[in-house]
Each structure stands twice: as C-alpha cells, then as structure tokens.
Chains A and B, each alone.
Chain A
C-alpha cells in the first residue's frame, strides 16, 4: 500500500488555477522532492497535504484511508517551514517540550518531566545538546533548522513535509544538513516530502523527484530516469541544463575545499 495517494487535486485562488488535476503517490519511507520554480504550485500542494488549505477537487489517501477532510493535527504529519516557525520566547528545550505537552497527539502521554526528557533525546539526535537553554535567536540558521526538525520529529509523525527548508542557509550548512536529514530519515523510517527550487538539492537527496510547472506535474521519476529520459522540453531546460551548471560549480567548490584542507 502507498503511504500517500493524491488523486485529482485542483485548486484556484480567485481566477487563477494554481493546481490542475494533480495525482501522484508516495511510497512508505521514501524521500520525494517536489521541484519547480516559485509560483508553480508546489507549496500549495504541501499546504493541502497537511490540511492548512483545502482543495476544490480531489482526495488524499494516507495508508489507504481518506484524510482529505481530516483536521491537520489528526493527519500524523509534520511540517518544517522555510522560516522554521520557532517559538522565539522559549528556549531550545522548551520549544520541543512545549510541543510535546500541548500537541493533541502527545499531550496525554507526557508529564512535564517526561516531555523534557523526550525533548532532550530528540535534541541530542540533532546534535544540539549543548544549546538546550539558548533562545533560538542565539543559534545559527542551521541550528535553528535542526531545532525545527527535532520539534517536528518529537511528535512522531510518519510523514514530514519540508517547505524549502534550506533556502536561507549558506552552502556549507546546506551540505551538512542534507546528510543529517538523510540520516534521520533512515533512523526513523519517516516518509519525507521535500519542496525545493534547487535542482541540485533535489537530485542529491531524493529517491524520486516530482518536477512541476504551472500547476501541472511535468515528470515524476527517479533522478537517473529524469536525466536519462526527460519527459518534455520543460524538464530538459529547467532541470537538466541547470543541473549541469550546478554540478560544474559544485566540482569547483569541492576543489577549493580540497585546497583549504
């Protein structure tokens, strides 16, 4: 059975249609990237998947169950936003602990101490044990990102959605965070859906990539298949050409790294 199945999703804002009859499925434990330029509708898919937005048409199945109309909190999915959405008035530890204590899915299973314990464990996983009492403002962008990930993971979702989570980070942090993310995925076996406009990022991390443009899926396949058999001109242009440029620059980057070491 597929982890997620999306059938015939359509959505308009006013007169402009942002999603047109979108259907796809996500395997259990898969890392799926949704790749497309800004305004292609990828963020809207994410918001509909997690229930922050409703679609005009179509349905969403999770583990074979229709969740189209379920409130977002009951979908057992988590989301990491581009701007992390951390609780800035709380310490790193409290960010996770608070989520555990207040979330409808976990609040009955934890008292204050247990939640703190669990939060510490989660933060250790993302290597933040030294920063438990700091406020988010005192952390680097990558560290903040990891707090957001720990907070989401703590609630034990089986699908995590990422909304361009690395676009505000520098190249170094991105590279190391990519590794960590894959690591975490392996460890928890969580299905991850990752939105990006960065071709190279999508190719580096994904099991499969869904290329989107103007509210329509252009191609959904494994990275190698996309490279070998681009479905149309758009994919060729937007994906393949760009990726070549990026790869070249990456090679250069790697070379300078070598030199400095």
Chain B
C-alpha cells in the first residue's frame, strides 16, 4: 500500500502536469484548428484537390521548397562548419551577422530582392537580367535568405557541442578528414539534421511573404490559400490547402519519433579541439565574408530605400518616410510590438521549457502526444492559425485584447524554441534526476540548480527567437490585432498595399533595429556569463 503511495508521489505530479498541458494544447491549437477545418464541411475536398491549379501550386511549392531547403541546409552546414570548426576570429560577431536576415519579415526580403534583382533592380541592370528574378529563382533566393540562418543556428549548436573524443580516437586510428566526416560527424549529425531539414522545409513551404512579392506567376500553396481566403473569402478551400501544408509537420514528427533514442548515450566528453590550419581558416573566412556581403545586399538596398524621397524618381536623402511612419503611429505600434515580444518571450519560453522537459526527460506515452502538439505549430501557416483563432475565440473575453496576441504568437513560434530546449535537455546527462533522487535532492532542485543553468545559453536563444519573431510576424496577427494593440509589422503590409514601398522599408528597418538591439543585449549577457564561469 505504501509502495503504491510512494510510487504515486513520484509519478502523479508529472502526469497531472502533462494532462494540464494537453488540455492547454487542446484549447490553444486543436479546437481552433477544428473550428477552422469545420468550414471545410461546405467544400468538396476532392474537387479542390483535383483541380489543375491546385496540382500546379502543390508542384511549385514542393519544388521550390525542396530546392530552397537543400540550398539552405547545405549553406548553413558549410557556414556552421566554417565558424565552429576553424580558428576563425570574431566568432561571436560572425554568429550575429550571419543571422541578421532572420531579423526582418520574409515579405521585406521579397521587397529587398525586387530592389536589387527585380526587372528594374540595380543588379539586374548591371548584369542585364531582362525580367528580373520573378518566379522560381526569386522564391528560392528569398526563401534561402530568411531560412538559412535558422538552419545555421541549429547546426552550429550541434557542431559546437559535439564531443571531441571520437575525433581523438579517429586521429589515433589515422582516419583522414573525409573518413572522419563520414564516420563521425555525419552519423552524429544525422538526427539533428533531420530536425533541421524539416524545420527549414516547413518554414519555407508555409511562407507567403516572399512568393507574394517575387513569385510572379509561380503560384505556391500559401499564395493560393491567401487568394482563396482573402480574395474569395473561401475559408473552406483555404482550410483544405492549410491542411495539406500540415502534412510535412506530421511526417517530420513521425520521422523524429522513429529516430529517437538511438545513440543517445551522451556523457561528459571533451570539447572538440580545433587543429591549427591557416589555409582552412582562410577559406572559411572567405566563405563567411562572401555570404555576409550577399545577405546584406538586399538589406542595404533596403536601408537606402527607407531614407530616400521616392524610388526611383527622386533619390534624394530624406526623413520623409520616417516622419510619415511616425505620423501614422509607428511609435505606438512599436510599443505594442515590444510589449507582445517581451511577454511572449517570457511566457513562451517558460511553456516551451516545461513541455520540452516533459517530453525529453520524463518520457511516458503522454510525452509523445505533447511532442506532437509542440512541433505541430511549426506547420500551421500563420494565416490559418490567425483565422482559426478569430473563429474560435471571437466571443471570448480575451478576443480583441493583447492576451490573444500573446497566445497566438506563442503558439505560432512555439516549435523552434521547443526543439532547442528538447535537444538541449536530451543531451544533458540522463541520470541527473535519478542521482538526485537517490541523494534526496528533488527533481525541481536538480532542474533549478543543474539542468536550467546548463541550458542557460539555450534559454537565451529561445527567448530571443520568440522576441524576434513576434516583432516580425504579419500573417498570424493580421486578423487578431485591432486599433489599440496593432503591432508594428502590420504597417509593412499597410504601406505595401498602398504602394508606399519606402515607408514599408523604413518600418522593416525599425524592426531590424530593435531585433539587432536585442541580439546585442543577448550577446553581452552571454559574454558576461561566460566570463563569470
């Protein structure tokens, strides 16, 4: 009897917490989605899916996403190797510069691309590109721009924390660089790489900012969905397409689960030792500098656009766009954005940590459910999530308040920070709680004193991920925000819709500035804590 009690004591709180989390997910994701999907009842799904137009959009989406994902992940892997595995200098600075593209909305990348590679883009003129990069390559380039930094961060993290001992063994055995890569690095990367590929894939396939701007006639699924929902008020058809876009996430989850717990015996190893090799370092430096120049081209063009009178008629320097944006309430909206970003970065991170703990370090059957829920949000296009929230929450008290914006953003951006925490927790010694419990140190004590401090860097990254994305998001909040809580990023579509590209550029720059500021703050916190250790 007392056995049952003592076991229950250990068991029940976490199970209860998991049930609470499941209920939370039910209301935050499942029920709103069901509400949205219920609009499908009026639609002949088979007919929607069998049209030539749908098949074409699906084909386009898959093609463009596959190509963009391959390029993104390869580029990210190459750069991560350049920074993590060489003696290149200013690693922290490189880490910051390389992720700048993920600090502005994807639609801004689209605009940036038009400025440099559009029909009248300045590079198009130099190289004599006739009709610009509208279409397939436009979408690929734009998608790589905003997605590779995410892949880069994930791969860099993995390489940075990889155990050095197998390499020492490899050196002893006289393995060549190539052999070591295929025998040690690749198998070690396999599991994280699958996560990276799916994260990138789902991110690209659900984006509509870039295809909307530079897609030309190359219609992708999100754009088609945008047309159906916004253009035709056909929520049912939109839902069908939204549901199709859910599929990659489900596949990702299945593969991730099948992939789990293999070769997870990680214990204290040695940091990877980087040998001296000047030639290799120089190559890495060139690659990094080249990439940074390329990714800064559209952003720089954009900065120019934000501070000229009227592109391309009157290229004089002016604060006109700044004044116009401020006059229209940019500062008030900036304040709203910062409130949302700060609150979501705290609450979202806390929720992601709790979820990841329950799935990575307290595995029961419910953990699989939680894991599925946690990464599903990755695949729900913002537009679908936003609309389903409108329908589900419209007669509740939180509707029309900041609270619903907090919630929708926390959910929309949940998967990536969750996966960061999940991976970090998974890598931390699996016996810590057991050893604690035999010593009479409770689970919470171990979490607070050992696991969270070890995850400090990850937690900072999670918070900044939420913050940055809340600053940038357009699709998820566009229906939910109202005049009193509208975030800044919505001004971009507002200006874009009214042909005020210069003002849109200025707002994008403002968002970029805030996000860069945050990154700088995070950088100094990391530096300070590294020193104190």
Contacts and interface: CB of A to CB of B under 8 A. Distances in A.
Direct contact of A and B (CB under 8 A): yes
Given A87-B449, A89-B453, A77 B267 contact: no
Interface in A46-69: 47, 50-52, 54, 68-69
A245 interface: no
Interface stretch (B240-248, B344-352, B411-419, B430-438): B430-438
A98 B449 contact: yes
Nearest to A86: B268
A135 B450 CA distance: 13
Contacts, number: 93
Contact of B454 (A70, A73, A78, A89): A89
A99 interface: yes
A99 B445 CA distance: 11
Interface stretch (B1-9, B294-302, B482-490): B1-9
B429 interface: yes
Contact of A70 (B6, B428, B432, B434): B6
B265 interface: yes
Contact of A79 (B429, B434, B449): B434
Interface residues of B, number: 32
A102 B435 CA distance: 12
B445 A88 contact: no
A254 interface: no
Contact of B438 (A68, A72, A88, A137): A72
Contacts of A139: 268
B439 A81 contact: no
B164 to A, nearest CB: 10
Most B-side CB within 10 Å, residue of A70, A84, A85, A144: A85
Contacts of A102: 439-441, 445, 449
Given A71-B6, A83-B430, A137 B440 contact: no
Given A68-B3, A98-B449, A103 B439 contact: yes
Nearest to B453: A89
Contacts of B268: 83-84, 86, 88, 136-137, 139, 144
B438 A83 contact: no
B527 interface: no
Given A89-B450, A89-B453, A73 B432 contact: no
Given A89-B450, A168-B267, A83 B431 contact: yes
Most B-side CB within 10 Å, residue of A74, A88, A168: A88
Interface string B445-464: 10001100110000000000
Interface in A72-115: 72-75, 77-79, 81-90, 98-99, 102-105
A22 B449 CA distance: 38
B190 interface: no
Nearest to A47: B434
A234 B530 CA distance: 55
B453 A81 contact: no
A69 B438 contact: no
A155 interface: yes
Most A-side CB within 10 Å, residue of B6, B7, B440, B453: B440
B261 to A, nearest CB: 15
B439 A69 contact: no
Contacts of B428: 88
B450 A87 contact: yes
B450 A73 contact: no
B316 to A, nearest CB: 56
A69 B6 contact: yes
Q: B-side binding surface: helix, strand, loop or mixed?
A: helix
Contacts of A47: 434
Interface residues of A, number: 39
B59 interface: no
A84 B445 contact: no
A54 B431 contact: no
Given A69-B3, A81-B431, A85-B429, A51 B267 contact: no
A78 B439 CA distance: 7
A155 B435 CA distance: 12
Contact of A137 (B6, B270, B453): B270
Contacts of B7: 54
Contact of A52 (B2, B265, B437): B437
A83 B429 contact: yes
A89 B451 CA distance: 8
A87 B266 CA distance: 14
A137 B271 contact: yes
A85 B271 contact: no
B438 A105 contact: no
A137 B427 CA distance: 14
A231 B229 CA distance: 77
Contacts of B450: 87-90
Contacts of A105: 439-440
A149 to B, nearest CB: 12
Contact of A88 (B3, B265, B429): B429
A70 B9 CA distance: 12
Nearest to B265: A83
Nearest to A95: B450
A137 B10 CA distance: 31
B383 to A, nearest CB: 42
Nearest to A157: B438
Contacts of A168: 267
Contacts of A70: 6
B440 A73 contact: yes
A52 B453 CA distance: 25
Interface in B487-533: 533
A206 B39 CA distance: 71
B431 A155 contact: no
Contacts of B429: 83-86, 88
Contact of A69 (B2, B269, B437): B2
Interface of B: 2-3, 5-7, 9-10, 265-271, 428-432, 434-435, 437-441, 445, 449-450, 453-454, 533
Interface of A: 47, 50-52, 54, 68-75, 77-79, 81-90, 98-99, 102-105, 135-137, 139, 144, 155, 168
14 contacts: A69-B5, A70-B6, A71-B6, A72-B437, A79-B438, A83-B429, A83-B431, A88-B454, A98-B449, A103-B441, A105-B439, A137-B269, A137-B271, A144-B268
Closest 6 CB pairs of A and B: A73-B440, A104-B440, A83-B267, A85-B431, A69-B3, A89-B453
Given A73-B440, A98-B449, A105-B439, 4 more contacts: A71-B6, A71-B9, A71-B437, A102-B440
